[in-house]
Structure 1
């Protein structure tokens, strides 16, 4: 019996072919999801999206992959309706393979029940689990969470009432947003790790630094004389850190902006919710 050595080029070809399929499926799904009503394109591409695409291309277990996506959507602040519409967009893309431009009619009731159930249960578990556990820090970046920043804002506004001075005169909210639409996989998470590290280096005097979404971080700080210089320094340092990573070098410069705190506590909470989905 003759044993032939496998041609290494065949394995490379298979890997390249799979990678090409993944990129096409991901792009078609994203286009269809946005067309169906996904509100914030920049936060669509979480790593769990790639896991779902890989399962679909390899004809694997979509239920497990969609459970992971459902949890990720909840943790990122996406509502259940938006999450299930995104799932419907995926189902439309998978069942209309001949349509390549992403302009596919999405039917929210067409996705198989087992897939909807997997995504919905995972979304609900993550949503209500977050309320029960209410962790104050996010594990990967070690930044505080959106829930913790809400608590800090509560304290700032109570102090404002006591001092009879608007919260906007004593505190400011610095928001850092990355455009990670061209970045896939775990490189997206690494980008936010680098952002967190830079913000902690600049704002090291007790400010509250929080991760508000997959590509959004914020700093709640007192408005002192050095705040403007620190904000400018944070922008430069984040850009510098991202440029070191070859996978992140091509991303656009981070958007660093100052958000003036609203007059009322209720409006401040709405502002945080809006920022977290930007």
Structure 2
């Protein structure tokens, strides 16, 4: 009986491994091999790709990208939190409708969004027409932030909603019964229980925005270039594949570094500093 059980277990493990093989092959083909090729291109000695990236221009682009990604994630959090709270505290139908509207926005093409914002913010666009003004609202950082925030808010809503649905409302009611005011009960009891969703949503938006280049290219100008647009230009315009590959590795390092920093901060904030 023991031998039969052991053979059955080994057979199940073999079947599971067989199911995993196609997925592993897919990961190797679409992820591992491209990364290896990028690394090989970036470290070509004759190209001196990383030496070119030490220029003040690329350093400024990198810092700008990190700053914009951090700002977009923070503003998206502020905008998305009330939306997620409304969805979490509403009835099933209202919640499904609200989340559906948020989710539908993700299916809208980035290019369409960009040109829609151009029609709104252009000198002869909707805003200037309604105000009777002639302000330049494109080719600047605020225009880039507006376009990226519109994309970041839906990505932020769902992690927040997931964490809010797990909040123990009995603790909130208990705090109110013990004399805590509404704001104090919210910040002292409710908000701390949603911190997992806050940091999860911030991580997702920050990492996603780091690599975006279409909206900054449409709504911004040369002074608003981000790493994604710089990489695209190296591959598509100047055909400097080595520099583009090196910049891609810098982008990957920024994403990994940002993820690690956010996770460390989240652990300190949620669990408290170790003593």
More strand by share: 1
Q: TM-score, normalised by structure 1?
A: 0.25
Higher relative contact order (CA 8 A, sep 6+): 2
Decide which structure has the larger Cα Rg and report it: 2
More helix by share: 2
Q: TM-score, normalised by structure 2?
A: 0.25
